[in-house]
């Protein structure tokens, strides 16, 4: 074909339980909830609409448009099994933490959410992110997302025209027992990104393989040499 080309691929991705998915060749992501341990699975786009647009006549850009709750269904850093052993609150927190990412920009998260169907975009207008999206989680995932539908994190320091707006949220699997103040990791002071206790991530019963880290051979670039010791 010659000339400009735009494609909007529609399937049943806006239904509650999509039956069709597009698989991206050469792409795979870890499924941390697979029985018996992590399994690498092909990247599949099951929810929303796929938009393809020309990129300066040299290639194409692809993006996925989807609803916020559909996006959150693909987040799976916390094992869904926790919901069956008293940890449903943790899954609900996982559902709330990434919710502002499509609202505040693609750089909001510490890393793109790397689940088996990690989510990708916003509602209207569609964003230009192209992270794989749309996996169907186990039942506990549905319950956590349904219980927190429409909820986002806010803070009195972040407003626009007098109204609260979603804040930038960050999350990680391992903190070595304590999180860090924003100015030590991101250079700027943020009132809601304060260091807090996270000793739970180091409890033996959590089975966290990254609970402890080896000491670096040199201080981090943001830390003064006098404040660091191996």
Mean pLDDT of 190-217: 82
**How much is the pTM?**
0.67
**What is the per-residue pLDDT across 29-58, written as a single tens digit (0 to 9) for each?**
877 777 777 788 888 878 888 888 888 767
The pLDDT of residue 24? 80
Count H helices, E strands: the chain? 5, 7
Rounded to whole angstroms, the Cα distance separating 105 from 168 reads 9
pLDDT digits (tens, 9 = 90+) for 66-99: 888 888 887 777 778 888 888 899 889 888 887 7
Average pLDDT estimate for 178-201: 89
Transcribe 14-55 into DSSP letters: TSSS----EEEEEEEEEETTSTTS-EEEEEEE-SSEEEEEEE
Q: What is the pLDDT of residues 117-152, one digit of tens each?
A: 333 333 332 232 333 444 556 788 888 888 998 888
User: In sequence order, what are the residues at sequence separation of 6 or more whose Cβ sits closer than 8 angstroms to the Cβ of residue 28?
Assistant: 40, 41, 42, 43
Mean pLDDT of all residues in the chain?
74
């Amino acid at each position: 074909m010659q000339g400009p080309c735009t494609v909007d691929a529609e399937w049943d991705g806006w239904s509650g339980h999509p039956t069709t998915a597009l698989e991206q060749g050469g792409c795979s992501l870890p499924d941390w909830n697979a029985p018996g341990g992590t399994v690498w699975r092909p990247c599949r786009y099951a929810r929303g609409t796929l938009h393809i647009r020309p990129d300066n006549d040299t290639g194409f850009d692809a993006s996925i448009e989807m609803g916020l709750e559909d996006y959150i269904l693909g987040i799976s850093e916390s094992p869904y099994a926790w919901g069956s052993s008293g940890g449903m609150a943790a899954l609900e927190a996982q559902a709330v933490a990434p919710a502002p990412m499509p609202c505040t920009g693609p750089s909001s998260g510490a890393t793109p959410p790397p689940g088996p169907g990690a989510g990708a975009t916003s509602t209207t207008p569609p964003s230009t992110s192209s992270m794989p999206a749309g996996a169907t989680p186990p039942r506990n995932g549905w319950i956590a997302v349904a219980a927190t539908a429409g909820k986002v994190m806010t803070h009195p320091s972040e407003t626009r025209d007098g109204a609260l707006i979603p804040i930038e949220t960050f999350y990680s699997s391992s903190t070595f027992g304590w999180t860090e103040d924003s100015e030590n990791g991101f250079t700027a002071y943020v009132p809601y990104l304060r260091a807090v206790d996270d000793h739970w991530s180091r409890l033996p019963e959590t089975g966290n393989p990254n609970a402890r880290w080896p000491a670096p051979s040199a201080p981090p670039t943001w830390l003064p040499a006098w404040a660091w010791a191996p």
